[in-house]
Amino acid sequence: MQHILITGGAGFIGSTLGDQLIAEGHQVTAIDNFDPFYDESIKRKNISNLLDQPNFKFLEVDICNMEMLTEQLQDDYDAIVHIAAKAGVHASIQNPIGCQQANVMGTQHMLEIAKIKNITQFVFASSSSVYGVNPDVPWLESDQNMMPISPYASSKLSCELLGHVYTKLYGIRFLALRFFTVYGPRQRPDLAIYKFAKMIVNNQAIPMYGDGSTRRDYTYVDDILKGIKAAIKYKDTEYEIINLGNFKTVSLMEMINTLEEVFETKAIINQLPMQPGDVPQTYADISKAKRLLGYEPNTSFKEGIVQFREWMLASQIDKA
């Protein structure tokens, strides 16, 4: 049994990871500050079933508050999974300073916690957005042609470099996992699949930015979690950047058509111009993840949408 510290532990990925780690017999401490980016009640519901678990502890802590972190994090931890961040590409354009503070300074604080408490395994949730408008797809971790086009993307790239510093200075094993458009049950309500599905079932027009040809490498949450859990156990090298994607791309129009098929409702489309910060495509080369982590995503896009639909209807989100 390991004791895993998860930041952003009440969010979409963090709470689902907590569920699985507790089910597998580990001890979990989750921290979250309930950032108002979306409704706090959603996050509290995410962890409601965990609060009664004897091996689970939840702390309401802000990663930007170093004093609070050092005061509250009193236990010994085997690994940190750092997911907490100011989310959203478009939100980061509206509030670049807040994004920088939460994402970069917050990550530095967590690396300091790792240094102070001698936690030598640090798994960082990076993002495919760091590749930006790099046209050379599928994207490889070794590619030096980084072209981020949002403060969010640049903050994640800065955090990867910070991790390298702490590896070299303090011997902290740092694994930056570049997530590619994670979706599934508990997905954030601002993300397209959640937002579009809710609009479709309520017969509301969905905003389609561009002509529907933009493409995303959608990755089902359970596949992402396999990669995270493998990274927690990884010991072979000290610093790695690893793509976690699906090695398949789905166009925006294909995504809408799949939602229509699974929800058995025709979408009403309101076509709009492309938004600042949007990239034309994301596409992961996952050969490194397969080699180092044994990573093998096996959920098709439609299968994942079916699972999302079951959760969404069971949660009565369509009525919200």
Average pLDDT over residues 228-235: 98
Output Rg (C-alpha) for the chain, integer angstroms. Answer: 19
How high does pLDDT run on average in the chain?
A: 95
- What strand order describes the sheet that includes 79-82? 56-60, 27-32, 3-7, 79-82, 121-127, 173-179, 239-244
How many residues are present in the chain?
Answer: 320
- Residue-level pLDDT at 8: 98
| CB contact at 8 A, 81 and 234 | no
Cβ neighbours around 170 below 10 Å, total: 15
- Residue-level pLDDT at 317: 63
Each residue's pLDDT tens digit, 90-148: 899 999 999 999 999 999 999 999 999 999 999 999 999 999 998 888 999 998 888 89
Across 43-52, 141-150, 251-260, least confident range = 141-150
* % the chain with pLDDT above 90: 89
pLDDT over 70 at 314, yes or no: yes
Which DSSP string corresponds to 123-164?
EEEEEGGGGBT--SSSB-TT----B--SHHHHHHHHHHHHHH
Strand partners, 28: 4, 56
- Residue-level pLDDT at 320: 46
* % the chain with pLDDT above 70: 99
Cα–Cα distance measured from residue 92 to residue 106, given in angstroms and rounded to the nearest whole number: 15
Buried b (16+ CB within 10 A) or exposed e, 285-294: bbebbeebbe
All domains in the chain, ordered by first residue: 3-319 (3.40.50.720)
Known catalytic residue: 218?
Answer: no
Amino acid residing at 192: A
- Residue 293, SS3? helix
Cα–Cα distance measured from residue 31 to residue 19, given in angstroms and rounded to the nearest whole number: 14
- Residue-level pLDDT at 72: 97
> Could you identify the residue written with the tokens 């902290």?
172
Q: How far is CA 116 from CA 69, 70, 77, 102, 171, in A?
A: 11, 9, 12, 20, 12
- Residue-level pLDDT at 197: 96
- Residue-level pLDDT at 275: 85
- Residue-level pLDDT at 318: 56
- Residue 34, SS3? coil
- Residue 179, SS3? strand
Tokens of 67: 């004093």
Phi, psi dihedral angles at 54 (to 5 degrees): -65, -25
Average pLDDT over residues 148-175: 97
Q: What's the whole-model pTM score?
A: 0.95
The closest of 83, 77, 37, 89 to 63, measured between CA atoms, is 83
The closest of 141, 187, 163 to 311, measured between CA atoms, is 187
Cα–Cα distance measured from residue 198 to residue 200, given in angstroms and rounded to the nearest whole number: 5
| H or E, element range at 207 | strand 205-209
Annotated active-site residue in 38, 77, 131, 152: 152
Average pLDDT over residues 53-62: 98
Phi, psi dihedral angles at 277 (to 5 degrees): 95, -15
Average pLDDT over residues 215-236: 98
